[in-house]
């Protein structure tokens, strides 16, 4: 029984290595949704199996470490923050585009608990890291896209997501190089001859180079984080490695090389060679005043304003869009209009969970570093230094981007490694070391676990998967002109009341717009579809009554079908919720003009223009409204 459970859980953990490769082309947001549901279902299964093995055999019950404790606190803080969020449903469930929310966080905590408990020896961990590294090699080879000069493409979709994944593979390969080769065979410079004859001596550096090349081709922030992580690791080894002098000397050489590379790049960043290289030119363009950095210049202060308004527990996960709309900087007119992240992980958690959310997030790093350096442990200086470099590189890149499921998995894998290797030799509570009677196990606890696991798998995944697939069917019907089939599929997808509801309702807008513009379609059919769409938009507004997005989408829809009178209350509310965003005012001006309220239209057009006089479209609309009023 023990072996069956143990091997089943191990198989499940290794099965998670396929998550980065999954692209569900039959689902909405195929690069995100398939990965998330696969991760959740597998984690739910292995967590249920782990509960059974932990009930029956106390050696598999969790042990205490500060990493485990801080991960638990982090999960609980976000649970509190999401419970009091401005949009609790979305805070818990997120949406198809992100697939995060508290549901993702609790699954990551479950994953850490299972992996940290089941991989309790160095041998087991090294095999898992080797498997991760092999998966990374396969993903790298299959992600090379010769059609682009700059970035990789692949099943992770966003090049930044690819880059963060390979940051972990890069450091995993260095750890394995040290553990499998250097620590076993390299004692001094004279032993290099023996090392040269070992195949792994070449394989791991090759994987590291491949991973670094993937980083180089995809993200400047992660590239700088990787270099910084290597430098930090090398400095720590050079300062504190006492047992292996040769490794300390190699690290000193790496420090010189990294510093020389950075200084050389800075000295030639204006050269034609750098300008003509797509990757180097992007790296040379890194500047706070550079155009590519302007969005963050505007968004980060908005995040601070949002924190000031809700400083303790924040706005809840997926709440940044409220902050973005409320504190929108009109100078952002040339940027994306719907930011749902601060593009800075610490700021994202500051907004999502307030100061408690940020501190609990930082505690994940702090607890790991505390165990690595300030508690007596059996890990070598070099291994601790490499792990520290990985954490440093990951944290640095997080200052410029937001996380995704795969980067979270890699991060929590590393946390589980530290927890497992450095946990204290005691249970979380004395009760966990007690034997549980066979009858109580077999007839009460284990049946409860099996039933709850089944319920969880269904409740968390099946409605959302079914809604997602039905949405795809609705869109296919719409493309072929099957209005009845499309309408029925839309209704069926919404009947599941899933995390995809908001996105389904947004997809109704182009569908209804295309129907309204076709003269051959019967008016009764048009009106029925229009009523259906408006009813669903009103339902979405009722669910998130303070979200400017759905007011303006509804207003735009009504303006597009020539019902500015109906659009007016929606657009006025949108402007109230986001007073500095020009696109909100554009719809208001449109509604005012089309209802004959030209004086008010001119006044609002002038106000909108004065928000940011450099915005050409605002000036054009102002001039156009003045001409309409003057009758020219």
Read off the CATH number of the domain in which 587 is found: 1.25.40.10
Q: What is the dihedral of CA 340, 70, 36, 124, to 10 degrees?
A: 150
CB atoms within 10 A of CB 111: 24
pLDDT for 630 equals 80
244, 319: one domain: yes
CA distance to 90, 239, 505, per residue, from 467 (Å):
16, 56, 12
Residue 449 is assigned to a structural domain of this protein: no
Tokens 């009523």 -> residue: 531
Q: pLDDT exceeding 70 applies to what percent of the chain?
A: 94
327, 474: one domain: no
92, 150: one domain: yes
pLDDT for 285 equals 67
- The residues pairing with 427 across neighbouring beta strands, listed in sequence order, are 63
How large is the average pLDDT for residues 55-73?
A: 93
pLDDT for 246 equals 85
Question: What is the C-alpha separation between 390 and 168, in angstroms, rounded?
Answer: 7
Residue 551 is assigned to a structural domain of this protein: yes
CB 422 within 8 A of CB 375: yes
Residue 341 is assigned to a structural domain of this protein: yes
pLDDT digits (tens, 9 = 90+) for 480-502: 888 889 999 999 999 999 999 99
Residue 451 is assigned to a structural domain of this protein: no
| Range with the poorest average pLDDT among 14-28, 63-77, 83-97, 517-531 | 517-531
Residue 216 is assigned to a structural domain of this protein: yes
Model confidence band, residue 520 (pLDDT cutoffs 50, 70, 90) = confident
411, 516: one domain: no
What b/e readout covers 294-326, taking b as 16+ CB neighbours within 10 angstroms? bbbebbeebbeebbeebeebbbbbbbbbbbbbb
254, 209: one domain: yes
Tokens (6 digits) for 97: 């585009």
CA atoms within 13 A on the CB side of 540: 28
468, 594: one domain: yes
134, 240: one domain: yes
126, 175: one domain: yes
Q: Which domain holds residue 553?
A: 462-630
pLDDT digits (tens, 9 = 90+) for 173-189: 999 999 998 888 776 66
Question: What is the C-alpha separation between 445 and 451, in angstroms, rounded?
Answer: 10
Residue 439 is assigned to a structural domain of this protein: no
How large is the average pLDDT for residues 569-583?
A: 95
343, 428: one domain: yes
Residue 334 is assigned to a structural domain of this protein: yes
483, 413: one domain: no
Query: Is it the case that residue 9 has pLDDT exceeding 50?
Result: yes
- Winning range, highest mean pLDDT, from 235-249, 307-321, 373-387: 307-321
Query: Is it the case that residue 292 has pLDDT exceeding 50?
Result: no
228, 366: one domain: yes
CB 527 within 8 A of CB 515: no
Query: Is it the case that residue 242 has pLDDT exceeding 60?
Result: yes
Q: Which residues contact 371 (CB under 8 A, 6 or more apart)?
A: 65, 66, 67, 377, 418, 422
How large is the average pLDDT for residues 393-417?
A: 95
pLDDT digits (tens, 9 = 90+) for 11-24: 999 999 999 999 99
CA 79 to chain centroid, in Å, comes to 18
pLDDT for 582 equals 95
Compute the mean pLDDT over every residue in the chain, rounded to the nearest whole number: 90
Q: Pick from 415, 433, 451: which residue ends a domain?
A: 433
Query: Is it the case that residue 291 has pLDDT exceeding 50?
Result: no
Tally of domains in the chain: 2
pTM above 0.85, yes or no: yes
């Amino acid at each position: 029984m023990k072996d069956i459970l143990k091997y089943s859980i191990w198989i499940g953990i290794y099965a998670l290595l396929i998550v980065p490769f999954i692209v569900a082309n039959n689902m909405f947001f195929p690069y995100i949704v398939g990965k998330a549901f696969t991760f959740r279902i597998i984690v739910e299964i292995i967590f249920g199996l782990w509960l059974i093995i932990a009930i029956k055999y106390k050696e598999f019950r969790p042990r205490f470490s500060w990493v485990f404790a801080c991960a638990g606190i982090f999960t609980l803080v976000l649970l509190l923050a999401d419970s009091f969020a401005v949009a609790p449903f979305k805070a818990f469930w997120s949406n198809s585009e992100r697939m995060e929310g508290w549901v993702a966080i609790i699954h990551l905590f479950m994953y850490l608990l299972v992996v940290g408990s089941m991989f309790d020896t160095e041998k087991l961990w090294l095999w898992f890291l080797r498997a991760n590294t092999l998966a990374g090699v396969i993903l790298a080879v299959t992600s090379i896209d010769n059609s682009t000069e700059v970035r990789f493409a692949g099943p992770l979709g966003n090049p930044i997501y690819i880059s963060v994944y390979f940051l972990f593979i890069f450091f995993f390969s260095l750890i394995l190089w040290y553990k499998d080769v250097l620590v076993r065979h390299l004692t001094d410079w004279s032993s290099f001859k023996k090392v040269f004859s070992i195949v792994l001596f070449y394989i791991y550096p090759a994987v590291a180079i491949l991973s670094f090349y993937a980083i180089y081709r995809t993200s400047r922030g992660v590239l700088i984080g990787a270099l910084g992580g290597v430098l930090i690791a090398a400095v720590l080894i050079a300062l504190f490695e006492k047992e292996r002098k040769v490794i300390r000397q190699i690290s000193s050489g790496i420090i010189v090389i990294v510093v020389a590379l950075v200084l050389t790049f800075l000295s030639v960043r204006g050269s034609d060679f750098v300008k003509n290289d797509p990757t180097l030119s992007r790296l040379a363009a890194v500047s706070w005043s550079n155009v590519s950095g302007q969005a963050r210049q505007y968004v980060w202060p908005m995040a601070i304003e949002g924190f000031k308004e809700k400083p303790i527990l924040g706005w809840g996960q997926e709440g940044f869009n409220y902050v973005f709309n409320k504190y929108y900087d009109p100078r952002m007119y040339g940027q994306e209009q719907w930011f749902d992240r601060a593009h800075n992980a610490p700021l994202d958690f500051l907004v999502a969970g307030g100061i408690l959310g940020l501190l609990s997030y930082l505690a994940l790093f702090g607890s790991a570093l505390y165990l690595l350096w300030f508690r007596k442990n059996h890990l070598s200086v070099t291994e601790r230094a490499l792990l520290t470099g990985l954490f440093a590189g990951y944290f640095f890149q997080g200052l410029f981007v937001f996380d995704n499921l795969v980067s979270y998995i890699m991060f929590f894998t590393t946390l589980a490694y530290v927890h497992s290797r450095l946990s204290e030799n005691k249970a979380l509570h004395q009760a966990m070391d007690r034997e549980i009677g066979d009858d109580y196990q077999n007839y009460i606890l284990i049946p409860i676990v099996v039933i709850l696991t089944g319920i969880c798998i269904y409740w968390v995944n099946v409605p959302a998967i079914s809604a997602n697939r039905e949405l795809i069917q609705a869109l296919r019907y719409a493309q072929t002109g099957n209005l009845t089939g499309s309408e029925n599929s839309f209704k069926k997808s919404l009947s599941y009341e899933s995390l995809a509801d908001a996105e389904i309702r947004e997809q109704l807008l182009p569908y209804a717009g295309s129907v309204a513009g076709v003269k051959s379609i019967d008016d009764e059919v048009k009106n029925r579809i229009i009523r259906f769409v408006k009813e669903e938009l009103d339902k979405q507004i009722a669910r998130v009554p303070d979200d400017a997005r759905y007011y303006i989408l509804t207003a735009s829809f009504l303006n597009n079908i020539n019902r500015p009178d109906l659009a007016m209350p929606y657009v006025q509310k949108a402007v109230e919720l986001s007073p500095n965003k020009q696109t909100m005012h554009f719809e208001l001006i449109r509604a005012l003009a089309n209802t004959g309220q030209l004086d008010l239209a001119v006044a609002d057009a002038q106000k909108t223009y004065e928000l940011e006089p450099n915005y050409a479209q605002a000036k054009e609309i102002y001039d156009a409204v003045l001409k309409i009023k003057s009758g020219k």
